[in-house]
Amino acid sequence: MDSNFKQRYMTEWMKILYGDFPKYFETTIHDIIQQNTLLQEGFPTDSDIMYVKGIAYFSKIAAIGSNPNRYELHSDLKERVQNLFNDKAEMADETVIIQGYLRRILNLSTVEEDICMLLPDNIKSHLIQKHFHLNPNVFSTITKEKQLEFQKRNKQFSDLITERMLTNLLLTG
């Protein structure tokens, strides 16, 4: 295993699990800004600005000298914005938890085949995908007993990853 092996896996896993959320957030905020302008009886543009608790949100930076629409958040959209920001906060908390779980897998792994043993089947195919190349001449150093014990102790984390994978399908689908 090369020295960057574990970091490459962690980076790839986090991209697979959480890489779609920033695009979802950006698209949703843009949609909310457009709806906000309409509710304020304005004509939506790509450079509209919406203020939420004094913070400006915009989809596109307005050109110098332009005069974009500027509106406070309409009351009809407050719940939707709150839900979006709650999702973002939950995502940040979840990311820390999942990184810890995946680091435990990587720390226990001395060969790539160990990772394959430690990841539960329900998430293995999603996280391994095409980036994992098993060497038929290398065997895992993880015993079946250690594998089962690790998976049992960490089931709540693999379940959280399964939930994230389903959420991602809804976000991108």
Q: Taking the complete model, does pTM exceed 0.85, yes or no? A: no
- Residue 86: its pLDDT value, please? 96
Structure tokens at 55: 């913070």
How large is the average pLDDT for residues 13-32?
92
Give percent of the chain above pLDDT 70. 92
Whether residue 20 contacts residue 75, with contact meaning beta carbons closer than 8 Å, is answered with no
Give residue 16's domain range: 5-172
Q: With 60 as the cut, is the pLDDT of residue 143 above it?
A: yes
For strand 70-72 and strand 55-58, is the pairing parallel, antiparallel, or unpaired? Answer: unpaired
Whether residue 111 contacts residue 138, with contact meaning beta carbons closer than 8 Å, is answered with yes
Which residues touch 8 (CB under 8 Å, ≥6 apart)?
Answer: none
Please state the length of the chain.
Answer: 173
Give pLDDT tens digits for 30-59. 999 999 999 998 888 888 999 999 999 998
Confidence of residue 132 (pLDDT cuts 50, 70, 90): low
- Residue 137: its pLDDT value, please? 60
- Residue 89: its pLDDT value, please? 95
Confidence of residue 102 (pLDDT cuts 50, 70, 90): very high
How large is the average pLDDT for residues 88-105?
96
Domain count across the chain:
1
Contacts 24+ apart (CB under 8 A), 111-116: 111/1, 111/138, 111/139, 111/140, 111/141, 112/1, 112/5, 112/138, 113/138, 113/139, 113/140, 113/141, 114/140, 114/141, 114/142, 115/9, 116/140
| Whole-angstrom distance, CA of residue 41 vs CA of residue 27 | 21
Work out the end-to-end distance of the chain between its first and last CA atoms, rounded to an integer number of angstroms.
36
Higher pLDDT, 67 or 1: 67
Q: With 80 as the cut, is the pLDDT of residue 66 above it?
A: yes
